[in-house]
Structure 1
């Protein structure tokens, strides 16, 4: 998974991709390291969703820009608007259901 290094890269990524998923982590976060492979595996089912990681301890402005207070945090944007926000204890079944609804709707748009 590619990493975004600045808040400007994060904002540009969200604005340039119609389906943008940001995984906010921290280097010393064991939960972050455990959820990362699960998220990558889940998103393999949705090839049009672009995924990037942001390390909150390196890109400190992410907290202020997106009101993130803990890691891990999952942010999913559709056309620049936040649609899904999950943090800490992510329920992957619930996340998968929400992504499926949005993804199928986006695929059927004309």
Structure 2
């Protein structure tokens, strides 16, 4: 799974604009929960080849908290076009996240 490391707000905007479906994973280096769920998130997203994943360290890109109203990490945001479609934070419910991913993905990329 190829994950883009983002280091500025401008890169975030470009990433969202350039991908039909994009997911942002906002974490911090000293966050144990962040480190624990990251591999699981990458594995989940790898099942959806059209979803592009980017990682942002909230301590290095401080503006991300204000731009997206992030109050805790980890925060996962899924965008369809420019629109935020789904958000999970702190205690990520993977079953709920996967269901949301499946619904949007199947609507955008029907298998029929």
TM-score bucket of the superposed structures, by smaller chain: over 0.9
| 1:28-47 alignment runs, 5 A limit | 28-47=30-49
Aligned to 2:14: 12
Spell out structure 1 runs of 4+ moving beyond 3 A. none
Counterpart for residue 104 of structure 2: 102
Structure 1 length normalisation: TM-score? 0.96
| Secondary structure of 1:99 counterpart | helix
In the alignment of these two chains, the number of paired residues is 108
Question: SS at 1:2's partner residue?
Answer: strand
Aligned to 1:76: 78
Root-mean-square deviation (CA, aligned residues, Å) is 0.7
Q: Deviations over 1:22-76 (max 9, x none)?
A: 0000010000000100000101110100000000000001011111111000000
Question: Which sections of structure 1, spanning at least 5 residues, go unmatched?
Answer: none
Match of 1:25 among 4, 27, 52: 27
Q: Structure 2 regions of 5+ residues with no counterpart? A: none
1:62 alignment counterpart: 64
The structure with the greater share of residues assigned to strand is 2
The alignment's TM-score, normalised by the length of structure 2, stands at: 0.94
